A and B are shown apart, each in its own frame.
Chain A
Amino acid sequence: MLKKKLNCVLLIDDDEATNYLHKMIIKNANCTEKCLVVESGYEALELLTSKENDKYLQPDLIFLDINMPKMNGWEFLEAYENLNLNQRGKMILVMLTTSMNPDDRKKAETIENLDGFISKPLTVEAINDLIAKYLD
């Protein structure tokens, strides 16, 4: 089966080892042209709101960590809601979590801009499922 490749995946996580691993998994999933990594919600907002070659980045898929220093995942989502539509990711935003805390899951279900909530580590199957569900 021939998959359509995504243009850009953005990882937002403060843990270096996690980013390293997730980048590798995304590479193995062979699903995107490029994969960018930022280590905080602030950096992510900066990246999403700045233009390169007169265009916003608009990643197809964003993976967001919950526990980060200063701006955590939830606060990032609040700020994300206030972005202009053309600055937001084109497609889907998924929260990644280490703990399967039911409170977090419940909270995640109430957020409109959030398309998914999956537990770490990311797997090739999880990425393929997401792409099949939202992007094909």
Chain B
Amino acid sequence: VYCRGKVIEWDDEWNPLRAVESHVDITKLKETEEAEKKYSEELESKNKELEQFAYVASHDLQEPIRTIASFSELLEQKYKGKLDKEADQYLKFIISSTNRMKSLVNGLLDYSSLGRNKEFTKVDCSLLLKSIQEDMKVSITDTAAEINVGQLPIITGHEIELRLLFQNLISNALKFKKEGIPPKIQIIAEQRTDDIKFSVIDNGIGIEQQYQERIFAIFQRLHSKKEYEGTGIGLAHCQKILELHGGKIWVDSKPNEGSTFNFTLPN
């Protein structure tokens, strides 16, 4: 109960004569407070659990995967062609599945560790893009891609995550290119009233309308492993990075007419 009182009348010697008092039942308020406290405690323990999961994924899972990978590669090196055709095929499946598992676990681990470091710094996007292109030199040359970067601003954000964001979008543009046509990628930024809008424009295969939302969900893929390699985690990363930066990401695209991945970052 919450009580408050105030004297409103005194006698000649300033002794109190009359007072007003209020008693408010604050059970509800207290209950809400406690529920909130309990909720935040729960959240905290859930968060800890998730961190623990990431740890398990990184160490306990990767170890046996690495062992399977190493020994199946050894088997292949030593016995390929010496057993029979079926055995070679089995080995091929084991090795490719193990490699796939490795990249899935790594992707999951990266995903869960995004946002752990909340320190934002000034990031010069022009410099960032130069360094990314340097890093991706091999795949850019291999695909004979042409990348045009417009004038980009200096923003506040988490540099490693922003690097991952651009890297994912560019490597998608390189990967989902039209056959026989070298990728052409344009990266531009536009200062708007409330935010900065970035666009990564490609001349690739494009995406049908009905899949344009789904591609940002984790492990969602639109192509078989034979057509295009990948784990289906890249755009989920991008989405999470933008959520952590208070921005948004979406795609404008038509099949066969290229894709434009847009994202916004708050001013």
The answer to whether the Cβ of B211 comes within 8 Å of any Cβ in the partner chain is: yes
Proximity bits, B2-17, A CB within 8 Å = 1, else 0: 0000000000000000
User: Are A14 and B93 in touch, CB under 8 angstroms?
Assistant: no
* Contact A16–B223 (Cβ < 8 Å): no
Given A20-B89, A70-B211, answer yes or no on A14-B97 (Cβ-Cβ < 8 Å): no
Q: How far is the CA of A14 from the CA of B227 in the complex (A)?
A: 11
Q: Which of A15, A39, A70 makes the CB contact (< 8 A) with B222? A: A70
For A121, what are the chain B residues with a Cβ–Cβ distance below 8 Å?
A: none
Q: Report if A40 contacts B (CB, 8 A).
A: yes
B220: chain A residues at CB < 8 Å are 69
Q: Give bound CA distance, A20 to B89, whole Å.
A: 10
Do A40 and B89 contact each other (CB < 8 Å), given the known contacts A17-B97, A70-B211?
Answer: no
CB neighbours of A70 from chain B (8 A)? 211, 222-223
Interface residues of B in 182-238 (CB under 8 A from A): 211, 219-226
CB distance from A76 to the nearest CB of B (A): 15
Assuming the contacts A17-B96, A17-B97, asked whether A69 and B224 have C-beta atoms less than 8 A apart, the reply is: yes
Interface of B is mostly: loop
Shortest distance in angstroms between B100's beta carbon and chain A's nearest beta carbon? 10
How would you classify the secondary structure of chain A's contact residues: helix, strand, loop or mixed?
A: loop
CB of B217, distance to nearest CB on chain A (Å): 12
| Total interface residues in chain A, CB < 8 Å | 10
Question: Contact at B96–A14, with CB atoms within 8 Å?
Answer: no
A17, B226: Cα distance in complex, Å: 12
| One of A16, A39, A69 near B221 (C-beta < 8 A) | A69
In the assembled complex, which residues on chain A have CB atoms less than 8 Å from the CB atom of B96?
Answer: 17
Digitize B224-260: 1 where CB-to-A-CB distance is under 8 Å, 0 elsewhere. Answer: 1110000000000000000000000000000000000
Question: Residues of A contacting B221 with CB < 8 Å?
Answer: 69
Contact residue among B89, B93, B97, B222 (Cβ-Cβ distance under 8 Å from A69)? B222
List the B side residues contacting A17 at CB < 8 Å.
93, 96-97
State which of A14, A20, A67 has its C-beta within 8 Å of the C-beta of B225.
A14
Within the complex, the shortest CB–CB distance from A50 to chain B, in Å, comes to: 20
Contacting A39 at CB < 8 Å: which of B89, B93, B224?
B224
B89 close to A14 (CB less than 8 A): no
B222 surroundings in chain A (CB, below 8 A) = 69-70
Q: Kindly report which residue of chain A lies nearest to residue B228, judged by CB atoms.
A: A69
A16 and B93: CB pair below 8 A? yes
Contact string, A30-46, partner B, CB cutoff 8 A, digits 1/0?
00000000011000000
Residues of A within 8 A of B (CB): 14-17, 20, 39-40, 67, 69-70
Q: Can you list 23 residue pairs at the A/B interface with Cβ under 8 Å?
A: A14-B224, A14-B225, A15-B225, A16-B93, A16-B225, A16-B226, A17-B93, A17-B96, A17-B97, A20-B89, A20-B93, A39-B224, A39-B226, A40-B224, A67-B219, A69-B220, A69-B221, A69-B222, A69-B223, A69-B224, A70-B211, A70-B222, A70-B223
- Sample of 4 more A-B contacts, CB < 8 Å, known A39-B224, A69-B221: A16-B225, A17-B97, A20-B93, A69-B220
